[in-house]
Amino acid sequence: MTAHRIIPSADISSARATVTNWENQLRNIIDGYKSYTSISHAVQKDAVQNGWDARTDKRHGKGWSMEFELIKSKSGNSYLTITDTGTTGLTGRVLTAAELLADLPAEERWGRFENVAFTKNQEEEAIGARGRGKFIFVGASKDKTILYDTVKADGSYRFGFRTIVLTDSPVNSFDDDAGRDKLVQYVKKDFAPIDRTGTRIIIVNPVDELVGAITSGEFLRYLEETWWEIILRYDANICVTNSGDKKTVKIPHDFKLPDSDTSSIKVWKKDNIDITFGGATHRIKHLHFACNLRNEVAEDIRGVAIQRSGMKVCAINIPYVPRNFANSFYGYVSFDRDLDFVMQKQEGIEHYSFEFRKGVALAVKRKLE
């Protein structure tokens, strides 16, 4: 006999809603990220993955760019703006509650961005697929507030905001001239509405940690260490601007991966490595390891970076590396399209881990070891 819900629908519809403490909810989300990394690192990772997922040229990434700009206004407020170009913008409508009951199709980017846990179709290929990332931006704001505006391909403009109050996370949006006027009302003359296709996220009064990371240059390094692959393969243009000083993100100078051995670097390189799991064959597309025989390498590039869709998710240590070279060993593995998609399903919700204890992720780890 098939199990069924024992509480009648009528009783459920007349029941009281559960009140959520949104400040605690936000704190829990931020703590989830902090178990792996810093707020600053998580901000850049979620921002670029969102923008890269929305690029219009999926094959080559032509015309895509992202700029992080720290703005300190005369009004006393400060902002971190995150602006992408060469993207679709936040397409779609402002959705009703009833429409949110269904999986949101790819074009409903606005609805996905504004709402919680209405995730992408599991058959889609994207780096970000859980819908939590927007809250790292909220958590990076002293005011727990973000603004965002977008221009779509048809030239239409929309402005919105999200904030946190004790028992709610309200959002609102305004279209075209009403949206432009509302942005100016909020930020005065600190900056203008965007005027070209793309999306901008504005973190209001970013936390000291984030400001410090940008000022010190650490933020630039986070981007280099996380996104070197799309810079290498697609010439992706990412930059960080602070007080008018713009710096372009490059491949880390110390992440040197020669194709063959040199006098100071031992190299292991192999392509198209098959893995069989659950009756299916998957493929590691590239394996490229190196060991610096003379010096230790920076801590953030040690180990083997597990790449997915051009993004470093995490790094693992290889047990057969001699202890005296453990701090000198680095490299990466990347997957073909099929394995990339399968690995996504075992990726942690913060995009900093995989479930290596089971499934195809375990098979990958065993192959590397």
Q: Are residues 294 and 240 in the same domain?
A: no
Give the span between the Cα atoms of 328 and 290, in whole angstroms. 8
- Give the count of domains, the chain: 2
The model's pLDDT over 224-267, given as tens digits with 9 standing for 90+, comes to 999 999 999 999 999 999 989 999 999 999 998 999 999 999 99
Helix (H) or strand (E) holding 211: helix 208-216
Is 180 inside a domain boundary?
Answer: yes
Question: Which percentage of the chain shows pLDDT scores above 70?
Answer: 92
Looking at residue 1, its pLDDT comes to 64
Residues 229 and 313 in one domain: no
For 169, counting Cβ atoms within 10 Å of its Cβ (0-12 exposed, 13-18 middle, 19+ buried), the class is: buried
| Predicted pLDDT at 161 | 95
Q: Which of 221, 248, 275 is the last residue of a domain?
A: 248
In a domain, 82, yes or no: yes
Amino acid type, 188: K
Is 222 contained in some domain?
yes
Say yes or no to pLDDT of 129 above 60: no
Give yes or no: residues 308 and 197 share one domain: no
Q: Does residue 275 sit in the same domain as residue 243?
A: no
Q: Which of 165-169, 247-251, 344-348 has the lowest mean pLDDT?
A: 165-169
Question: Domain for residue 274, yes or no?
Answer: yes
**Do both 50 and 191 map to the same domain?**
yes
Contact 153, 208 (CB under 8 A): no
Q: For residue 297, what are the domain limits?
A: 265-368
> Could you read off the pLDDT of 181-206 as tens digits, one per residue?
999 999 998 999 999 999 999 999 99
Please tell me the least confidently modeled range out of 66-80, 101-115, 168-182.
Answer: 101-115
* Residue 269 bridge partners (DSSP): 288
Report whether pLDDT(25) > 80. Answer: yes
* Percentage of the chain modeled with pLDDT above 90: 75
Which amino acid, 2? T
Does residue 357 have a pLDDT over 90? yes
If 0-12 CB within 10 Å is exposed, 13-18 middle and 19+ buried, where does residue 126 land?
middle
Residue 60: exposure state from Cβ atoms within 10 A (0-12, 13-18, ≥19): exposed
- pLDDT-wise least confident of 76-80, 101-105, 202-206, 349-353: 101-105
Domain membership flag for residue 3: no
Confidence of residue 104 (pLDDT cuts 50, 70, 90): low
Per-residue confidence (pLDDT) for residue 140, from 0 to 100: 98
Q: What is the mean pLDDT of residues 333-361?
A: 95
Domain CATH code at residue 58: 3.30.565.10
Please indicate, yes or no, whether residues 303 and 227 belong to a single structural domain of this protein: no
Average pLDDT of span 61-78: 94
Assess if residue 131 is contained within a domain. yes
pLDDT of the residue at 356: 95
Do 113 and 184 share a domain, yes or no?
A: yes
**Helix, strand, coil shares, percent, the chain, to 5:** 30, 30, 40
How confident is the model over 270-320, as pLDDT tens digits?
999 999 988 899 999 999 999 999 999 999 999 999 999 999 999 999 888
Residue 337 is assigned to a structural domain of this protein = yes
Q: What is the pLDDT of residue 99?
A: 60
Task: Pull the structure tokens for residue 87.
Answer: 């993207």
Among the residue ranges 97-101, 147-151, 212-216, 296-300, the one predicted with the least confidence is 97-101
Q: What are phi and psi of 51, to 5 degrees?
A: -65, -40
Do 22 and 203 contact (CB within 8 A), yes or no? no
Rounded to an integer, what distance in angstroms lies between the CA atom of residue 292 and that of residue 247? 28
Is 120 a residue whose pLDDT tops 60? Answer: no
Res 114 pLDDT > 90:
no
Q: Are the C-beta atoms of residues 98 and 110 closer than 8 Å to each other?
A: no
Q: Are residues 93 and 45 in the same domain?
A: yes
Averaged pLDDT of the chain: 91
The answer to whether the beta carbons of residues 360 and 278 sit under 8 Å apart is: yes
The pLDDT assigned to 320 comes to 85
Q: Kindly state whether residues 48 and 88 are assigned to the same domain.
A: yes
Question: In what helix (H) or strand (E) does residue 186 lie, and over which residues does it extend?
Answer: helix 176-187
Mean pLDDT lowest for which of 3-17, 131-145, 190-204, 226-240? Answer: 3-17
* Domain-ending residue, one of 219, 248, 277: 248
Task: Answer whether residue 83 shows pLDDT above 90.
Answer: yes
> What pLDDT, on a 0 to 100 scale, did the predictor assign at position 102?
60
pLDDT average, residue stretch 10-28: 88
Instruction: Quote the strand ranges of the chain, DSSP E.
Output: 65-72, 78-85, 145-151, 157-163, 171-175, 198-204, 237-242, 245-248, 265-277, 280-292, 303-308, 311-316, 329-335
Q: Given pLDDT bands bounded at 50, 70 and 90, which one contains residue 110?
A: confident
Same domain, yes or no: 243 and 270: no
In a domain, 135, yes or no: yes
